[in-house]
Amino acid sequence: MASPEATGSARLRVVVVGAGLGGLAAAIALRRAGHEVVVVEQADALGTVGAGIQMAPNASRLLDSWGVVERFAGVGVPAQAAVRRSWSDGEILGEVEMGDALLESVGASYWCLHRADLHSALVGAATDPDDPGPPAEIRLDAPATAVVSTGPDEAIVEAGGEEVRGDLVIGADGIRSVVRTDLFGPESPWFSGRVTNRHVLDAALIRADEELAELIARPAQNIWLGPNGHVITHPIKGGNGLYMGVTRAGLEPDEAFWSLPVDPVELKAQIAGWDDRIHRLIDLAPTITAYGLHDSEPMDAWSVGRVGLLGDACHAMLPFQAQGAAQAIEDGAGLAVALREHGDDVAAALRRYEEMRKPRVTRVQEASRANAALWHLQEGPEQARRDEELKSGSGDFKSYQWLWAPTGDLAGT
């Protein structure tokens, strides 16, 4: 099926299952490499649920090179600082400069956005006929139900009631991936016992309260660290909105759920004694949605023949490095690089892609778990030591340099 048209690699037909953040990133990287991309998505409309998302420099560097940052200009906000606070009174424990300091050290910004804004910028870069490469086709209302063939000559997935054929199929269908289940069986990411309660707030209401206004005076990521949980805020919508996520740990496995409305009174009871400003921010939220957090161990393999996996489908992780989507975006770039290296030997390219990506993704999964432990410490000597480290400018801040710096292997996508 491949025809040797694209410079440096055969032009392939790639079927991507899932138009989430990872699937769209793959579509962009692959079309820019000259490949023909068809994305099959179960939803009947484009858009995304959810609230805020942070795009760390390792991902925003790629988004910038693909013209995606330009597309979210005006609504994306580059964070100027990362601030850690004490849970009970909001005292600042530590702070690092981002903004220009980050541009100088790693050459990219730390963007804060609403997910819908990032999603629509990705859709634009995947489908705009004026961007490099053939525009990706996105088929809506096309849920994948089965992998029909993994090769040797072509890959086939059944989606929306028809067989969709390509040189390769990429399952970017998230935590409950049908493609993963068909390839490797029912074992899946597990509920971690942690839940994030997500809210989107109107910045105008926050500015009307002097004490709350101080929290958004500068565009920054703020994280309150406390026993069994943390609270994060960051700007969205060009500074006209604020995302807040209240994470609670220690729930029983059978309390796993995906997305549920939350009673603010109950939520405030769960965080009794935390900084009063957090309680007042909760009062300003029109709605709050709870989202169960999942985690996973490295899979033995990410592909069978001509069918591979990407993003949460193969490496779900806790969001405490803000890296799940960032790693899915890196996967998309990694896939394009591996196909460039292996031409039309698709199975070899998928193995190379996994070899390139898995060690890094595994390290990020571990680092995310480490932040869960560090951020949620009970009051005591360990918490006191953590706070001292933060005050000295170290603490969890030191863990990001390796992750955010340019890696080299994803260049040129």
Ligand X SMILES: Cc1cc2nc3c(=O)[nH]c(=O)nc-3n(C[C@H](O)[C@H](O)[C@H](O)COP(=O)(O)OP(=O)(O)OC[C@H]3O[C@@H](n4cnc5c(N)ncnc54)[C@H](O)[C@@H]3O)c2cc1C
As given in the structure block, the two tokens for residue 154 are 């072509």
The b-or-e profile of 347-366 (16+ CB within 10 A means b, else e) is bebbbbbbebbbebbeebbe
Asked if 178 is part of the footprint of ligand X (rule: CB under 6 A), the reply reads yes
Toward ligand X, which CB reaches closer, 173 or 387? 173
Q: Among 172, 304, 364, 374, which residue sits at the site for ligand X (rule: CB under 6 A)?
A: 172
Could you write out the DSSP letters of every residue in 343-371? TT-HHHHHHHHHHHHHHHHHHHHHHHHHH
Minimum gap (Å) between residue 334 Cβ and ligand X? 14
Asked if 325 is part of the footprint of ligand X (rule: CB under 6 A), the reply reads yes
Rounded Cα distance, 368 and 195, in Å: 15
Asked if 293 is part of the footprint of ligand X (rule: CB under 6 A), the reply reads yes
Contacts (Cβ under 8 Å, ≥6 apart) of 301: 184, 354
The CA distances from residue 13 to 127, 141, 284, 318, 328, in Å, are 15, 21, 48, 33, 20
Toward ligand X, which CB reaches closer, 36 or 41? 41
Q: Among 67, 107, 135, 143, which residue sits at the site for ligand X (rule: CB under 6 A)?
A: 143
Asked if 195 is part of the footprint of ligand X (rule: CB under 6 A), the reply reads no
Cross-sheet strand order for the sheet of 111-114: 52-55, 111-114, 77-78
Asked if 20 is part of the footprint of ligand X (rule: CB under 6 A), the reply reads yes
Asked if 166 is part of the footprint of ligand X (rule: CB under 6 A), the reply reads no
Asked if 324 is part of the footprint of ligand X (rule: CB under 6 A), the reply reads yes
Q: Among 17, 63, 83, 108, which residue sits at the site for ligand X (rule: CB under 6 A)?
A: 17
Toward ligand X, which CB reaches closer, 42 or 127? 42
Toward ligand X, which CB reaches closer, 6 or 29? 29
Q: Among 23, 57, 90, 332, which residue sits at the site for ligand X (rule: CB under 6 A)?
A: 23
Which string of x and - marks every residue 234-273 that binds ligand X (by CB under 6 A)?
-----------x----------------------------
**Count of residues interacting with ligand X (CB under 6 A):** 33
Rounded Cα distance, 410 and 189, in Å: 27
Could you write out the DSSP letters of every residue in 189-258? -EEEEEEEEEEEEEHHHHHTSHHHHHHHSS-EEEEEEETTEEEEEEEEGGGTEEEEEEEE----GGG--S
Interaction site with ligand X (CB under 6 A): 17-23, 40-43, 53-54, 143-144, 172-174, 178, 196, 245, 291, 293, 311-313, 319, 322-326, 328
